[in-house]
Amino acid sequence: MGSSVMVRVRYAPSPTGSPHVGNIRTALFNFLFARSEGGRFIVRIEDTDQTRKVEGALEDILASLRWLGIEWDEGPEIGGEFGPYFQSQRLKIYQHHADELLKKGAAYRCFCTPQELEEMREYQRINKIPQMYDRRCRGKTADEIGKELASGKPFVVRLAMPLQGKIAFEDAVRGRVEYEASLIDDQVLLKSDGWPTYHLANVVDDHLQQISHVIRGDEWINSTPKHVVLYQAFGWEPPIFAHAPIIKGADGAKLSKRHGDTRCLDYREKGYLAEAVANFIALIGWSPGDNREIMRIQELEAAFSLQGIQPSPGVFDLQKLQWMNGEYIRALSKEQLYEVVAAFDANTKDEQYLESASRAVFSQALKKGDKDYVMRALALEQERVKLLTEFPEACEFFFVDHVRFDDQGVAKWKGQPHIEALMNFYLEHLADKTEMSAEDCEQMVNAAVERLGLLKRALAIHPTRVALTGRSFGPGLFELMALLGAARMKTRFEIAKNVLNA
């Protein structure tokens, strides 16, 4: 295919369920390639198998693409000059092309009944013969076919595969790929109800919609020789094929739900940012050729090439995705973070998040609290959080009147001889204070260490954190003290004096 031909690629899902990571990676690779080459990205819905159609699947497909920033140039909801973009609306086109193949002798009518086909398969199983159609209808004469048609007997249209030789094609990822023609079945192209199978509809549409490159998952590579034969039968030039590698879990096993292979939209519900998910998925089985990992969508578009797709399996590592998500969270300005967290809290349907103990007070603070105070609280926890779902628990102590004390934190400091004096020192120091900076708070802690004669500053810092937050870990102590303010600190030191004393 000459370089002057415009790049036109397609993502062609079946509405049989909500798309998972592997499926969406195909969409992303096609989209990035189109953008990198100044081409067109088409979405085509392959809905010819009506029995497997799932209610809501189409909506999930389009929502997944939009969430990840994968905008299509032609397809559902926006149309285009090569429509319709639903295969169920193109049946006459496929029937016409099936007739063309029959006239050329590149396909034939098969009148075998389901019972006959089952008996054939059973015979092959018993005799350990490779299971494929035995081509018994392929040799029917014109008279025999005429009689069958006259009787009204139903038939399917099958592809007449070459009986010998090799079928070869060049794959942009794997190089030259060859198959023994005699080992490939005479594929059904048109079913008895007039609906096409995937193979016929796929090839016809790719040609009529001028698809230049077919980028798809490795699971389709065994179908490609059938498609090559179809292109040859029609006298069409095939597109360039590129089969992306399968995806495995970090343990090397086949990707499954336990590795994180779940609906793409589940990641939205569980607190992942779309930019992080797109970045992560793009790097499964593709490399920009350097050591970059954090890449915005514009950088991915600029760097993407078919040469970067690796032939070896890609790895889905959930821990890496979480790390990457944390990096994207930290890159947000405090204003952006507030907007993202508020939108997530208002829209997520994740049950675990909605039912969490910290969520109610957090949600109330987002809706009715002091926006600047909430924004600063989120910013303090921004360095430690990897998922948006973690913010309610991480920030809870900023928004409650009485913190929940961690048992270990209390156990470590309860009854220590200097604790009551430390709390009293703070209460005395804060008596006339309203606002304090982080530097003021550090000076107060240092003064307490000196007044009480403590050998280590940690003997003041750690119990102070427990007193104010209820926990032994968290953001910078002096920054959180400054944000809490003198009034909140006084209340908490009074409570902690009782909790931490023997």
**Which residues participate in catalysis according to the annotation?**
257
Query: Do 234 and 163 touch, CB atoms closer than 8 A?
Result: no
Contact, 395 vs 378, CB < 8 A? yes
> Which two structure tokens, joined as six digits, stand for 206?
């790719």
Q: Are 318 and 326 in contact (CB under 8 A)?
A: no
> Whole-angstrom Cα distance, residue 294 to residue 272?
15
- Cα atoms found within 13 Å of the Cα of residue 215, Cβ hemisphere only: 35
Cβ(75)–Cβ(85) below 8 Å? yes
Cα-based distances in Å from 254 to 30, 284, 316, 472:
24, 14, 10, 40
Which residue in this structure is represented by tokens 């937050």?
469
Q: Which residues have CB under 8 Å from 397's CB, separation 6+?
A: 403, 404, 468, 469, 470, 471, 474
Nearest to 224 by CA among 208, 203, 244: 203
The β-bridge partners of 202 are none
